[in-house]
Amino acid sequence: MVRRPVAWIVAVVLLAEGCVIAAFNWFLGMVADRQHMSLAGIDPDLMSVSSKVGGVVFGLYFALCALVALLVAVRDRAPAGFGRILLISAAVVHALLAAAALALTDPAVFVTLMVTFALLLLLLMTYDAEPVPQRVDGGDSGKGDGTATAETAPQTLAPVIPAPRTKDAPGRAPFTRPAPTTP
């Protein structure tokens, strides 16, 4: 199966990315603090702290996404609910960062982000098409050729839709009324 290795790779890539982003933002916060940098009159200490906090939050976000991918790999089941939403949001973040990176930085950054984006999509799409469970009794007539007979084929009943009631004829549909006769 291709699904399980992809989930492991996505988990490792997202965890590494979370650590790198947290460390990079922490470094930028230290540089802003030591250089007493200010942007449009903002307090340098506020810039330093916000860069560090933003890096930690973003790093924890990617670490949580990595945990979801790890759980997908261990359980070999599609992510559901909050985990699926988290992985979809990580894919959207990577697509937006890749677009900004292509416009502002080196194409190598764009390619790296797009590879991560593709891995996330591959993880979400391969687990999307779950295999259909097989019947316990084998599903055929015992001939072994895979053809089913009428006795072994599942039977479904047509839904019963009651006719609407009218005021003058309860229990009868309006279109079933007898036509008027003239003498």
Q: Per residue in 137-154, pLDDT tens? A: 555 555 555 555 555 555
Per-residue pLDDT, 55? 94
Per-residue pLDDT, 6? 84
Place of tokens 């050729």: 145
CB 124 within 8 A of CB 84: yes
Q: How far is CA 89 from CA 16, 57, 93, 124, in A?
A: 18, 15, 6, 12
Tens of pLDDT, residue by residue over 24-78, are: 999 999 998 888 877 788 888 888 899 999 999 999 999 999 999 999 888 888 8
The rounded distance, in Å, linking the Cα atoms of 122 and 132 is 20
The rounded distance, in Å, linking the Cα atoms of 127 and 119 is 12
The C-alpha angle 109, 115, 117, rounded to 5 degrees, equals: 100
Both structure tokens of 42? 């903002």
CA dihedral over 69, 74, 76, 81, signed as positive or negative: negative
The C-alpha angle 75, 76, 79, rounded to 5 degrees, equals: 80
Would you tell me how many other CB atoms lie within 10 Å of the CB of residue 160?
A: 5
Per-residue pLDDT, 171? 57
pTM over 0.85: no
Per-residue pLDDT, 160? 62
Tens of pLDDT, residue by residue over 80-135, are: 889 999 999 999 999 999 999 889 988 898 999 999 999 999 888 887 655 555 55
